[in-house]
Every structure is written in C-alpha cells, then in structure tokens.
Amino acid sequence: MTEFIPPATRWFELPSPFPMKRGGELRGGRLAYESWGRLSPERDNAVLVLTGLSPSAHAASHQDDPEPGWWEPMIGPGKPIDTDRWFVVCINSLGSCRGSSGPASINPETGQPWRLGFPELSVEDGARAALALVRGLGIDQLDTVVGCSMGGMTAIAYMLHGGRARRMLNVCGAAHALPFSIAVRSLQREAIRLDPLWNGGDYSDSVYPESGMRIARKLGVLTYRSAIEWHGRFGRVRLDSELREDDPFGHEFQVESYLEGHARRFIRQFDPNCYLYLSRSMDWFDTAEYAPGGGEGEQAVLRGLARIRLQQALVIGVETDILFPIEQQAQIAEGLRRGGTEVHFASLPSPQGHDAFLVDYPRFCPLIADFMGG
C-alpha cells in the first residue's frame, strides 16, 4: 500500500471533521498540492488545476522537483498557463494516493490505512476539499478554475459548492456520467474486485491484485485512445519474433505489447482501492442534482450548469473521445452560456481520443495560451 508522493508536495489540513456528501465524515484529512509562481498582492492571479483520475499534484517541473509533470508543456514560465503571471495550484484529488487522504493513506485515528473504511467519495467532496484549500491559501476568487477529465467534473462541482472564479477552462470534462462510461468503469472495478488478491481491499505489496489492475488499466487505455489513432500507429504490425511469447495466445501484435507496457507502468503505481473510489465517484456525479426545481436528464443538467457564475469559459473536447464524448463538452458549453458566461467551445479533431489533452499539444497549447492570455 505504497503512496507515491512527489518531492515538491505541500500539504493542507482539511477542516476536521470534514463532512462527506454520501454520509460520514473524514477526520484528520489532508490534501497534497503543488504550486508554481507567486500569488499577487491583490490575490487575484490564482489558477487552480483539478486533475483526472490518476495524476499527482505534480503537473509541471518545480524548483523542488525538476521531474517533468503530467502537463509539463502547458504550465511554466512562458507556457500557455504562464507561471510568470499566474499563481498555479494543482491538487492531488481527495481519495487519491499521491499524498492526499484516501483509501491508501493512514487513518490517524487507527494508525492503519483507511482501505475500504474510507468514507464513500463523491466528486463534490473533492471539490469542497479544493475550495477549503483555496480559501486556506487566502484566495477568495480564482482567476481560473481548470479541470481536465474527472477534473472537469470537479471544476463544475467547485462552482456549484460556493467556489468563485472569474473563468473556467474545462478540458474533456463532463457534467454527468453516461452509461457507456459507467459500464467501462464498472467493468474495471469488477476486474479488480474479482482478483482474489484484492481480498476485500486488504492487500499488501507482496500480495497484490496485479491481475485485476492489469485488466482495469488495459481497459482504460482502450478507451483513452481512439481506434483511428491505433490504426495509424500500429496497423497489424507484429512484435519482433524474439519478443514474442511461445504461445498462440501470447503477445504477438504491437498493439498488445503497447497495452501491456501501459499496464506494467501503472499497476504498482496506483493504489487499487483508490482507483475504485475515484472511479465510482465519477459514475455518481450528476449536475442535474443542482437544477433549480429538480428534474433529471439533459435539461436538468443544463439548468444546473446555468447556475454557475463566470465571466468567461473555454470548453474543449475531442471528436474522437469515446469516454467523455464531444456531446458532453458541448453540453457544458451550452449550460454555462445559458448562465450568462461568455463561452468559447472548441471541438478538436485530434485522433488521440480522451488522452489528446495529454499529448496533442500542438492543438491544445495555442487554444489555452490564447484563453489564459486574454
């Protein structure tokens, strides 16, 4: 049950007890974060970055940690999110295993890891924890709240739970989960839970649900990219014969070893219980809950989004994304627009699917630089 905490991490102690949306409360909770740049004397240049399911707070290299971050080309001096101008804060999500409290962290009341004793987690809990941190840093209003993927959900929840921001940058996000994504995540969780070594969440480094995590990660990678990209990248190319297993069901095609490589890098780097918690939190998220007058479905989602007060928003989606399909970003844009926000919606033809925001920098960087510079 290793946590993987980058060296530039700082911690913020959450108010304790911290009530959780689905019941129960968290005692002695904390958030891990990193920051870049300097908060202006007017405290009006803060940019909050909310992540997808698995990244740490290490979004970019740092004076205390020269390792490239998960959004390295996007954040730094002179980059689209320019740390010479902005005070940038990135949070490791509540429930994750990169320093924030979650199933893999120690419950201070018992001295043991929380495991499945961690309270049920919602996207809104992560958003409220982020808001506590922002306020704890003495910031009343963000310049920009930025959310990618799951973080795009968290950014919406942040604004619906008292957060204030002048602008929103919502990247490959969604205002609620749809059944295909729920089904994918459900299957990932099932693969982990069916692994006998998961053992009801009570595993160790030596007895660890590797098989379940392997399936879960490969299924993730299947849905993070697009068929069209793989066709171009891998075609039907075989592995060199010396790399092939002597087994008709062993890895023979490059695409199979690509999945395997991704899985190997992830399996031991992300805690299985944290994966379960964060994954399920996305299924539950539904902006329709915030619609004035109640209701369900698309119209309620739009009415919920229209409650958000911002000056401007940039909403970016990718046409080949099957996990957070482009219709979901169009919906965010429409809902924010109905609330009076000046919205720019960008539908990008990147072939890389949901992962495009992590790799297609030639398309994403100019858009985000324009927005952040405006």
User: x/- site string to a copy of itself, residues 164 to 203, per CB under 8 A?
Assistant: ------------xxxxx-xxx-xx-xxx-xx-x-------
The CA distances from residue 160 to 69, 146, 155, 194, 310, in Å, are 29, 15, 9, 36, 11
* Among positions 297, 340, 349, 366, the unique one binding a copy of itself when judged by CB under 8 A: 297
* Phi, psi angles (nearest 5°) of residue 48: -100, 130
211 lies in the binding site for a copy of itself (CB under 8 A): yes
| Binding span for a copy of itself by CB under 8 A among 45-53, 74-82, 233-241, 332-340 | 233-241
Q: How far apart are alpha carbons 157 and 180 in whole angstroms? A: 22
Q: How far apart are alpha carbons 151 and 305 in whole angstroms? A: 15
- In this structure, the number of other CB atoms found within 10 A of the CB of residue 360 comes to 17
Minimum CB distance to a copy of itself smaller for 13 or for 120: 120
* Phi, psi angles (nearest 5°) of residue 269: -105, -5
Q: Which residues are catalytic?
A: 149, 321, 354
Query: 316: part of which helix (H) or strand (E)?
Result: strand 312-318
Could you tell me if 354 and 327 are in contact, meaning their C-beta atoms sit under 8 angstroms apart?
Answer: no
| Binding span for a copy of itself by CB under 8 A among 96-104, 132-140, 161-169, 227-235 | 227-235
Number of residues written out for the chain: 374
Q: Site residues for a copy of itself, window 317-336 (CB under 8 A)?
A: 322, 325
User: x/- site string to a copy of itself, residues 242 to 271, per CB under 8 A?
Assistant: ------xx-xxxxxx--x------------
* Among positions 10, 233, 338, 344, the unique one binding a copy of itself when judged by CB under 8 A: 233
Query: 303: part of which helix (H) or strand (E)?
Result: helix 297-305
| Binding span for a copy of itself by CB under 8 A among 11-19, 95-103, 223-231, 361-369 | 223-231
227 lies in the binding site for a copy of itself (CB under 8 A): yes
- In whole angstroms, the minimum distance from the beta carbon of 300 to a copy of itself comes to 10
* Phi, psi angles (nearest 5°) of residue 108: -60, -20
Q: How far apart are alpha carbons 90 and 154 in whole angstroms? A: 13
Query: 26: part of which helix (H) or strand (E)?
Result: strand 25-26
Could you tell me if 119 and 108 are in contact, meaning their C-beta atoms sit under 8 angstroms apart?
Answer: no
Minimum CB distance to a copy of itself smaller for 140 or for 327: 327
302 lies in the binding site for a copy of itself (CB under 8 A): no
Could you tell me if 176 and 286 are in contact, meaning their C-beta atoms sit under 8 angstroms apart?
Answer: yes
- In whole angstroms, the minimum distance from the beta carbon of 345 to a copy of itself comes to 20
Residues binding a copy of itself (CB under 8 A) = 22, 120, 176-180, 182-184, 186-187, 189-191, 193-194, 196, 211, 214-215, 218-219, 222, 227, 230-231, 233-236, 248-249, 251-256, 259, 276, 280, 283, 286, 296-297, 322, 325
